[in-house]
A and B are shown apart, each in its own frame.
Chain A
Amino acid sequence: MTHTPSHLPPAITVFVQGVGLLGPGLAGWGPGREQLLGTAPYQATRCVLPPPMALPQAERRRAGAVVKLSLAISEEAVAASGLQASTLASVFTSSSGDAVNCHEICSALASSDRLISPTRFHNSVHNAAAGYWSISSGSMATSSVLCARDASFAAGLLEAMVQVATEQVPVLLLAYDTDYPEPLHSTRPIPDSFGVGLVLAPCRSDITQAQWTLEPTACLSSLPADRLDAPVLEKLRQDIPAARCLPLLQGIARQQSGRVVLDYLEGLQLVLQVAP
């Protein structure tokens, strides 16, 4: 027996107020937008992570790649939104934590001297980036820290859109992955760092870049996920879980109206309606 709701729940609509982007050959949303449009050339050069200047000096010294990446995409997205980071709820989603740090810990634990440093340990938690972000932004609002392996972007987007809809507040979504050192790299061949920051709000404003809508009872689908036309960008989408967002970003760049299908869990995709 399948339950049939007597009335359908209202559609969930959010407005994209700010975008941050950093990845191989992608040095911000300004140039990234042109690259996704095809009006600027794209080459997958090594991602450059800026130092996290927003952090106090002690924390800055301890910050690894995940923290640098997440703070950089946050800064760009929040600045574009015109909102104060200190007021924002946040969703952090990543297919893994800081893999360099994990490698160092596992190496130490497999050695005769199992001493690991306190900094290594507190950087090992999946919410390390959220903790550093909360310290640097001063935001005491809720932060959801998620992992769904290759589905992490869509899982984070779902959580963020649902929060915007149910709480009627803007939410900062940060999705990011960094590459793994050997020997873990062979078991999880993520080639480089990629991160996207999105400020999603419940209302449209002058600076709205796109509108995204989910139908709560019809957004999960077996339709195939959208692919990118440019092979080098499609490779990026497939290689790094956080880059599964690229069809949505390309939709913003193209001021697209219509349907976007994103990779989610095994055999299950997430369907959105997008509009400028």
Chain B
Amino acid sequence: MAHPLYPLRLSHFTATSCLGRGLTETLDALRARRGGLAPCNFDTVDLPTFVGEVAGTDDVVLPAQWARFDCRNNRLALLGLQQDGFEAAVAEAAARHGPQRVGVFIGTSTSGILQTELAYRRRDPHSGALPADFHYGTTHNTFSVADFTRHHLGLTGPAVVVSSACSSSAKVFASAQRMMRAGLIDAAVVGGVDSLCLTTLYGFNSLGLISEQACRPFDAARNGISIGEAAAFALLERAPARPGPGDVLLLGVGETSDAHHMSSPHPDGLGARLAMEQAMAMAGLRTADIDYINLHGTATQSNDAAEAKAVAALFGTGVPCSSTKGATGHTLGAAGGLEAVVCALALQHGLLPGGINTRERDPALPIHYLTDNLEAAPRHVLSNSFGFGGTNCSLLLGRAG
């Protein structure tokens, strides 16, 4: 059912991933079709796989007053917040609206669990106790990254983590939009932060879903994901009556559940299709209005097949699509936020990024999959994020002017 249009403006946004720190490096890498995946050299991991590691993450030092939040995930969050003048933009919004009228909605799947993994290596040999310098609440706990973001930015309004696996930081846009529509807040910091840890590397390995090569979305020979890490943020505000030229707007969000299986998608991508349909309905747009789809495109056999069915059922081969996970890896709980920023860059810079690493498109997946960059002037794009537990979210972003 269509909602009254309630567009939000992405007043400011930024992303940090293995492609680089901030928008300029991210855009340069996409233009140059330069990926950031490399053979895994993270911690003591002994899996033959590629990862998208953000260089220098562990060199980040949290301000002394927030030392209790120190862990890789919050270091990455801070690194991300410090790019592109994002902190200053939030400070201005807080001054405009009041700090209690700015909400914080962050998506993450594993938050600071690496801190607990490391602490378990240092258990007391006699009592089994964890080391005294381990702070569960401000590091491991799922909320830690939103709590840190809220404290660091000096915001005092509602704050929450959305943690629904790989749809997390797409769904934050929906929660923030609803809370703004209801009048509880006037602005929101939304985003996604997920960092490398052993739980996800060995966990996806246990499911046989990790590729030993840099992942190849929609390739006939695709054989699994490459895990990445990222911090991506956007400042959302009510769109002005007359948005400025080039303003990026959130026009629609679709959220569904598969009700099918814990770790496999619905084989026909039914939940995914419904999510895209809902996003278009909320925006009051039709399939013909969509100029590009940033696919979830994880490069597992079943995920790409199910998503291709969903996209083909709605769009046929008419809409250029790609997955940017060949470049960034699958950043899990940060993927929705990161790919929303990729879509915002596509809208502002007229660049439809072709997927990299894909050598031979799978002929069984009947969609218009881009393997080269395309210069275009997209007005409306979709960004898909789906996850474990059968959770689906599709964002519809548009360009004003």
Contact = CB atoms under 8 A, between A and B. Distances in A.
Interface of A: 1-3, 5, 8-10, 12, 59, 95-97, 102, 105-110, 114-118, 120-122, 124-128, 130-132, 134-135, 137-149, 151-152, 155, 158-159, 162-163, 165-167, 182-184, 186-188, 214, 216-217, 219-220, 265, 268
Contact of A184 (B130, B202, B259): B130
B199 A124 contact: yes
A125 B107 CA distance: 13
B116 interface: yes
21 contacts: A3-B186, A9-B183, A12-B182, A95-B141, A105-B199, A122-B388, A130-B391, A131-B389, A140-B271, A143-B255, A143-B391, A144-B255, A146-B161, A146-B162, A146-B163, A147-B143, A147-B161, A182-B128, A184-B130, A214-B184, A216-B184
Contacts, number: 223
Interface in B255-297: 255-263, 270-271, 274
Contacts of B130: 183-184, 186-187
Interface of B: 3, 46, 95-98, 100-101, 109, 113, 116-117, 120-121, 123, 127-130, 134-137, 141-144, 146-147, 150, 156-165, 171, 174-175, 178-179, 181-184, 186, 198-199, 202-204, 206-207, 255-263, 270-271, 274, 387-391
B111 to A, nearest CB: 8
Contacts of B109: 125-126
B94 to A, nearest CB: 10
Contacts of A148: 143, 146, 159-161
A62 to B, nearest CB: 8
- By secondary structure, the B interface counts as mixed
Which one of A8, A97, A134 has the highest number of Cβ atoms from chain B below 10 Å of its Cβ?
A134
B376 to A, nearest CB: 31
B262 A265 contact: no
B159 A186 contact: no
B259 A109 contact: no
Nearest to A2: B98
B283 to A, nearest CB: 16
A184 B121 CA distance: 13
A135 B159 contact: no
Contacts of A139: 257, 259
- By secondary structure, the A interface counts as mixed
Contact of B121 (A110, A118, A141, A219): A110
A147 B160 contact: yes
Given A152-B143, A167-B178, 14 more contacts: A8-B183, A121-B206, A122-B263, A127-B163, A127-B387, A135-B259, A144-B171, A146-B163, A147-B161, A162-B181, A167-B3, A187-B136, A216-B183, A217-B183
Contact of B157 (A8, A108, A188, A220): A220
Contacts of A95: 141, 143
